[in-house]
Amino acid sequence: MTKSILLVGVGGQGTILASKILTAGLMEAGYDVKMSEIHGMSQRGGSVSSQVRYGESVASPVINEGGADMLVAFEKMEALRYIGFLKKDGTAVVNDFEIPSIPVITGDETYAPDILEEIRKHVSAKVINAAELANGLGNAKVANIILLGTIIKIMELTKIDWESIVRSTVKPQFVEINLKALQSGMDAV
């Protein structure tokens, strides 16, 4: 049975590194894996998504509307934008983090204060504050790895040797902090 995980966020939040580690681990565990990303123009502060699919044999690298087992939003407005991609019984993990867009900054649009409530109306979202957890670890930049830890826990992938994957993916001086972040994300749910 093919599983689909959709990671969404804003350009620059580290969704690509998180999905890179995730897919490397899945491949090591013997799954067939496909991942699709759209690079290019949207990276400049736009909405970004990484689509990860794994199973015995995966055909399409693309996740459809109504097709994701799990939606992981690195920014809460992006969770709302992509909720339609979740299966009816899918799981949403939402980082309680807000990034305004230029139309919000210039006053042409409003970032509603009750986005989490809006999401909760439709799915039983697990909300975590990755920024706070990351700051607690002393490095705001590992919020993405904390969210990766959450994915691993919820998708029951904890048996994979993530430590060696992290060691082979990030620079040596960042290995320890990333391992701590991964554990922190697993403990958060």
Please provide residue 28's backbone torsions phi and psi, each rounded to the nearest 5 degrees: -60, -35
Q: Does position 167 bind other proteins by CB under 8 A?
A: no
Q: What is the smallest separation between the CB atom of 187 and other proteins, expressed in angstroms? A: 26
Q: Which is nearer to other proteins, 2 or 183 (CB)?
A: 2
Q: What is the smallest separation between the CB atom of 142 and other proteins, expressed in angstroms? A: 14
Figure out which of the listed residues 124, 140, 167, 168 binds other proteins, where binding follows CB under 8 A: 140
Q: Does position 36 bind other proteins by CB under 8 A?
A: yes
Q: Does position 45 bind other proteins by CB under 8 A?
A: yes
The C-alpha angle 51, 181, 8, rounded to 5 degrees, equals 25
Please give the size of the binding site for other proteins, defined by CB under 8 A.
60
CA nearest 150: which of 173, 129, 174, 120?
Answer: 129
Q: Does position 24 bind other proteins by CB under 8 A?
A: yes
Beta pairing class for 126-128 and 86-95? parallel
How far CA 14 is from CA of 9, 54, 143, 148, 187, in Å, comes to 8, 21, 8, 10, 20
Contact 174, 145 (CB under 8 A): no
Stretch that binds other proteins, among 40-48, 155-163, 167-175, 178-186 (CB under 8 A): 40-48
Return d(Cα 187, Cα 189) in angstroms, integer: 6
Return d(Cα 70, Cα 125) in angstroms, integer: 10
Q: Which is nearer to other proteins, 127 or 183 (CB)?
A: 127
- Residue window 86-105: x/- pattern of binding to other proteins, with contact defined by CB under 8 A: xxx-----------xxxxxx
Footprint on this chain of other proteins (rule: CB under 8 A): 10-11, 23-24, 27, 32-47, 58-62, 64-67, 77-78, 80-81, 83-88, 100-113, 115, 118, 121-123, 140
